[in-house]
Amino acid sequence: MVMLCLPLLAFFTGILIGALSCRRFRRNRIVWAKRRLQLAVLSLEVKSLREKVVAAQGRRTPPAKRRLVRKRPSLTAWQRWWVARLHRFFPWVTRFMHFGPMTYIRWLQAKGRKAHSDKTAEGIRQGRRPTPAFIIEAILTIKRDNPRYSARRIANIISGGELRFRIGRTTVSDILKAHGLNPPTIHSENRIADSYHSHALCGQSVESDTGVRGV
Would you state the pLDDT for residue 188?
Answer: 46
163-203 pLDDT tens trace: 778 888 888 888 888 888 775 555 444 556 666 666 666 66
Would you state the pLDDT for residue 90?
Answer: 77
Q: What pTM value is reported for the model?
A: 0.33
Q: Is 55 helix (H, G, I), strand (E, B) or coil?
A: strand
Cβ contacts of residue 57 below 8 Å, gap of 6+?
65, 66, 67
Q: Give domain limits for the chain.
A: 2-54, 73-126, 129-186
- Taking residues 131-155, report their average pLDDT: 87
Would you state the pLDDT for residue 155?
Answer: 87
Would you state the pLDDT for residue 75?
Answer: 76
Residue length of the chain:
215
Mean pLDDT of the chain: 73
Query: Residues 125, 102: contact at Cβ < 8 Å?
Result: no
Residue 67 is given by DSSP the state P
37-60 pLDDT tens trace: 888 878 877 776 666 555 454 566
